[in-house]
A and B are shown apart, each in its own frame.
Chain A
Amino acid sequence: MTMNQRIEQCVRCLYKTNHPFGLTLDKNGVCSGCLVHEEKDLLDWKMRLGMLKNLTDSYKLKQSKNYDCIVPVSGGQDSFFIVHTVIHELGLNPLLVNFNRNFNSAVGIKNLSQLRTIFPADFRQFTINPIISRKVIRTTLANLGTINWLWIAGQTSLPVRIADELKIPLIIWGAHQGIEQVGMYSHTDEVEMTSRYRKEHDLMGIDEKEIFKFDPDFNPNDISSLTYPSDDQIIKNGTRGIYLSNYLRWDPVQQHTFVKDKYGYIGRKTNRTYYDFDNPDCPVYNGLQDYLKFMRLGYAKVTDQLVRDIRHKRIDKESAKRIESEYLNKAPDSLKGFADWLGISVKNFGPLMLSLDSNFLEQLLSGDWRSEINELDKPNLNHIDSVYKFIDSDFKNFGKGI
């Protein structure tokens, strides 16, 4: 989408043609996301589950001594559903893999703990150095307008690295967001994980090889743990990542009811979304991160939730528009703990949050935040004291993580 192209909204849902994934409209003005969603009511999902079983059966203990596949988990509701499906429906022995974001909600910590406890599967976690974590997040906040880049970079590279390391070729993901949101592919394409999608859509066009250009202080070794395996490594190992949403009728609302009842999954309501089950593991995903998304793109998580409900015929477009307008401008919660952890004065956030100022990020990071954080990052006793000072009340959520 270029500057001079007209932005149009789908006649059925709330998405517009400036969606960052891209969006096409057909001659009737219906968007690609709504068109592909129609397949959910047309495809023979029983037959597709059979296809999935055939595919995964061929990986059962065939190429790995220990695990049949890798399942990336965050502790969100989809993690429960995916792990349930992989173990109890497909009969696989997965290795669960988690990239710790370093800041996690209490609910998220509980859910992940529950997941590790109730499912018969090994679990492997990676936690990046928190000082590096803060450094990267400040950089992506200032330059890309997101705090989520680091976590996504880690969450999408860690399973592929472990697949290569342990020679486990199959990775099983939940939904393909490009299909769910904008109908990037037909379900029958059975699209698989690609590094191009990761770079372009997950990481906003900047991968770990390029993030250094934003900050002269960056050392490539700082984030070597985010490195995505090379094409040669992936081909040699036969690594492939499949999406369950191509084989199962994907509906997160139904999945939530299921995992809540069966596995005691807990949601977490925030003031910018009307469902409590989406991304409760991150204390700021539906808060600050969502507000930044709104400022960059003009829509927010509540829009995603409403579009999903429109397509599943749980709400009509007019009601959805009304609800969206109620939520879009709400100030994000959970800001202070995160601002303190990040080393940016919360006073910089406050007055700016509702201003939609084009210089928002510049002002957010204004003043001496860099020197302050450099001071904070010094590994001495004072530093530790100062860290404890601000994270003491919510230590589990910001800092230690999990």
Chain B
Amino acid sequence: MIKRIAATLILDSNQIINAYNFEVHLPVGKLKYTLERLQEFEVDEINILNTSHSNSVVNDLDKLLEDINNWHVSTPLAYGGGISTLTDAVYVIKSGVERVIISANTFFDFDLFSDICRTLGDQAIILHLPIEFKGGSPSIRGYSNKLLSDVNALIPINWGGEIMLTIVESDGKKFPNWQNIGDALGIMAGHSNFILAGGFADFKDISAGLSLDQVSAISIGNYLHRVEHSIIEIKQKIKSSIQIRR
């Protein structure tokens, strides 16, 4: 399988932010300038998570897409944030975004999640699961009663979408927590096509993550904002050992 290196861009109040533990948001700048650079670095895909969505996905997305079109972005995009109806999800795809990122909140409305999968096709969907390891068993951030094992049981075994697994405790850090990643992937052993995120800031860790059978991509967040040529350098270093997109 050809593996991918993705970028996660988190938007808060229309600005890109550095996120730490899903709690602290520090401003980086405008989406335009980072997209411009990511294009030049030939990142494989860009996952935009809009944390400051208004009540209207249509309005949020229209403005964003207008800008993206103006900036001539050709890198595949996925968009998430405020998607709470089938109409929202369909709108994202019809707008030209390749994939829609579904939050855990929408996933827990399982009928809705199933509808979205049926309508768009599994492969147009990324399910974003932020995992916390507070007090023993891993659970979904914001839903301490929703254990990862429960979520795992809900996802059909042959589901064709990808799961973005973010370890909350590693968010914004310089090292992933391999113990937590191992535990989470172990619980979800029946699934593959994971996008790992949280603490990937070194080519060795990214290489180790991509080497895992269940993992199809690593998504980099803060690291790409603070080290200019992170994507280029990572690709150069790992291309001899792992099959990645050129």
B40 at the interface (CB under 8 A from A): yes
Contacts of B134 in A (CB 8 A): none
- Flag B226-239 by CB within 8 Å of A: 1 or 0 each: 11110011000000
Q: Provided the pairs A1-B14, A35-B24 are in contact, do residues A200 and B228 lie with their beta carbons within 8 angstroms?
A: no
Query: Are A1 and B226 closer than 8 Å at their CB atoms?
Result: no
- Flag B1-27 by CB within 8 Å of A: 1 or 0 each: 000000000001111011010001111
Query: Are B228 and A194 closer than 8 Å at their CB atoms?
Result: yes
Distance between B47 CB and nearest chain A CB, rounded to angstroms = 19
Complexed CA–CA distance, A199 and B232 (Å): 19
Query: Are A182 and B226 closer than 8 Å at their CB atoms?
Result: no
Query: Are A22 and B37 closer than 8 Å at their CB atoms?
Result: no
Residue in chain A with minimal CB distance to B29: A200
B28 at the interface (CB under 8 A from A): yes
Q: Which residues of A in the span 189-207 have a Cβ within 8 Å of any Cβ on B?
A: 189-197, 199-201, 205
Query: Are B13 and A26 closer than 8 Å at their CB atoms?
Result: no
B105 at the interface (CB under 8 A from A): no
Complexed CA–CA distance, A192 and B230 (Å): 12
Q: Which residues of A in the span 30-51 have a Cβ within 8 Å of any Cβ on B?
A: 32, 35-36
Residue in chain B with minimal CB distance to A232: B232
Contacts of A217 in B (CB 8 A): none
Complexed CA–CA distance, A279 and B28 (Å): 25
B34 at the interface (CB under 8 A from A): yes
Q: Which residues of B in the span 10-62 have a Cβ within 8 Å of any Cβ on A?
A: 12-15, 17-18, 20, 24-30, 32-34, 36-37, 40-41
Residue in contact with A5 in the complex, picked from B14, B27, B172, B232, CB distance below 8 Å = B14
Q: Which residues of A in the span 1-59 have a Cβ within 8 Å of any Cβ on B?
A: 1-2, 5, 17, 21-24, 26, 32, 35-36
Distance between B123 CB and nearest chain A CB, rounded to angstroms = 32
Query: Are B233 and A235 closer than 8 Å at their CB atoms?
Result: yes
Complexed CA–CA distance, A199 and B233 (Å): 21
Q: Which residues of B in the span 156-181 have a Cβ within 8 Å of any Cβ on A?
A: 172
Interface size on B, residues (CB 8 A): 31
B222 at the interface (CB under 8 A from A): yes
Interface size on A, residues (CB 8 A): 33
- Flag B207-246 by CB within 8 Å of A: 1 or 0 each: 0000000000000001001111100110000000000000
Distance between B233 CB and nearest chain A CB, rounded to angstroms = 7
Residue in contact with B13 in the complex, picked from A1, A36, A192, A231, CB distance below 8 Å = A1
Query: Are A196 and B26 closer than 8 Å at their CB atoms?
Result: no
Contacts of B30 in A (CB 8 A): 22, 200, 205
Complexed CA–CA distance, A280 and B18 (Å): 34
Residue in chain A with minimal CB distance to B15: A22
Query: Are B24 and A21 closer than 8 Å at their CB atoms?
Result: no
Complexed CA–CA distance, A8 and B26 (Å): 16
Query: Are B18 and A205 closer than 8 Å at their CB atoms?
Result: no
Complexed CA–CA distance, A193 and B226 (Å): 8
Query: Are B26 and A185 closer than 8 Å at their CB atoms?
Result: yes
**Ranked 5 nearest A-B pairs via Cβ:** A22-B27, A194-B228, A200-B33, A191-B226, A22-B15
Can you list 13 pairs linking A and B with CB atoms under 8 Å apart?
Answer: A22-B27, A22-B29, A24-B13, A32-B25, A35-B24, A182-B27, A186-B18, A192-B227, A192-B228, A196-B228, A205-B32, A205-B33, A231-B232
Q: A1-B14, A5-B13, A22-B29 are known; give 10 further A-B pairs, CB within 8 A.
A: A36-B26, A183-B26, A185-B226, A186-B18, A186-B20, A191-B225, A191-B226, A205-B30, A231-B232, A235-B232
Which of B's residues lie within 8 Å of A, judged by CB? Answer: 12-15, 17-18, 20, 24-30, 32-34, 36-37, 40-41, 63, 172, 222, 225-229, 232-233
